Amino acid sequence: MVKKGGIKAHVLINAQENTPTLVRYSSAARHDKNFLKHINLAAASIIVFDRAYNDYKQYARFTFDEVIFVTRQKKNAIYELSKTFEIPNKTHYIL
């Protein structure tokens, strides 16, 4: 049996400078979440990534290090709502 090869490029981009700050290559078969272990961000940094990078231990580390992260939630995730916020009607959104 012959397996097809493949490579992924994981890139961390500084959004203010629009430049890559970290590039790592991995086998296409390797799980994406392994890339997050190589990221060291300062407190108050904001990182956005896809659901494929889901790693709850890493999320806990980001929270402890006061790094803000945004990702899509897995459909089968179990969570508890701790706080809600009202959105004023006059808020303007930029998409």
Q: What pTM was computed for the model?
A: 0.69
Please check whether residue 56 lies inside any domain of the structure: yes
| DSSP annotation of 88 | P
CA distance 21 to 17: 10
Please check whether residue 20 lies inside any domain of the structure: yes
CA distance 13 to 33: 17
Q: Is 49 exposed, middle or buried (0-12, 13-18, 19+ CB in 10 A)?
A: buried
Residue 1 pLDDT grade (very low, low, confident, very high; cuts 50, 70, 90): low
Bridge partners, 95 (sequence order): none
Q: Is 32 exposed, middle or buried (0-12, 13-18, 19+ CB in 10 A)?
A: middle
Q: In this predicted model, what pLDDT tens digit does every residue of 10-44 receive, in sequence order?
A: 898 988 888 998 899 988 888 888 888 888 889 99
The pLDDT score that the predictor gives to residue 37 is 83
Q: Which domain holds residue 12?
A: 7-70
Please check whether residue 91 lies inside any domain of the structure: no
